[in-house]
Amino acid sequence: RKEVEQDPGPFNVPEGATVAFNCTYSNSASQSFFWYRQDCRKEPKLLMSVYSSGNEDGRFTAQLNRASQYISLLIRDSKLSDSATYLCVVNSRSGYALNFGKGTSLLVTP
Amino acid sequence: NAGVTQTPKFRVLKTGQSMTLLCAQDMNHEYMYWYRQDPGMGLRLIHYSVGEGTTAKGEVPDGYNVSRLKKQNFLLGLESAAPSQTSVYFCASSLQGPSSYEQYFGPGTRLTVT
């Protein structure tokens, strides 16, 4: 089983829509969780960390369910500029590195 | 600050040739990483370093070597390139361990081995 699994999509949504992505992780001892964003042919950049109690950053909300070992990202009022690949990231078993999911592709259309 | 820079941006190699990819960061970060990204495979960790003079193997280290002689630089070497090493290579750095500190990525090196 892969350390981090995501639905690759693509998710095609109209501007203004709400879209949610989920990812699952295999290591129940994982402590650190993130969402990174990667634009086409660009480097990944941190979007937000994910905290146990859930957290929000503007239109973005991240949730963590430790019992079921999944992480979610909700994007409200989608913008064209939200079109990108969203990477679910969990700390590795060693603690020295991160495990990246393969990413979920989002395309927001006018 | 330039952040994380990578040299070169593009390269085409023939099978069996060698090359070195250079990563430099000006943020005084302790940790540095080399990843490769292939279609359908996501980012996979090749090697990493937790400080000057240290290196460690990641998920896919075979065929690569690394060195961290200076804190700001992390070099990735391919001694005898193979077509399976055609990929986009990303370098990243973080202030300390990645569980607590953001990883900053360089713009990537697109390598084709023919």
- A101-105, B73-77, B96-100: least confidently modelled range: B96-100
> Could you tell me if B39 lies within 8 Å of chain A, comparing CB atoms?
no
Tell me which chain A residues have a C-beta less than 8 angstroms from the C-beta of B42.
87, 100-103
Tokens encoding A39:
């634009």
> Could you tell me if B12 lies within 8 Å of chain A, comparing CB atoms?
no
Q: Give the per-residue pLDDT at B96.
A: 85
Question: Is a pLDDT exceeding 90 seen at residue A50?
Answer: yes
- Residues A65-84 have a mean pLDDT of 96
Q: Give the per-residue pLDDT at B60.
A: 95
The secondary structure element, H or E, covering residue A49 is strand A44-50
Beta-bridge partner residues of B54: none
> Could you tell me if B106 lies within 8 Å of chain A, comparing CB atoms?
yes
Question: Is a pLDDT exceeding 80 seen at residue B93?
Answer: yes
Question: Is a pLDDT exceeding 90 seen at residue A24?
Answer: yes
Tokens encoding B114:
């023919």
Report how far residue B42's alpha carbon sits from residue B46's, in angstroms, rounded to the nearest whole number: 13
Q: What percent of chain A has pLDDT over 70?
A: 99
Tokens encoding B2:
């330039």
Q: Give the per-residue pLDDT at A96.
A: 80
Asked whether the beta carbons of residue B48 and residue A103 sit closer than 8 angstroms, the reply is no
Report how far residue B114's alpha carbon sits from residue B110's, in angstroms, rounded to the nearest whole number: 13
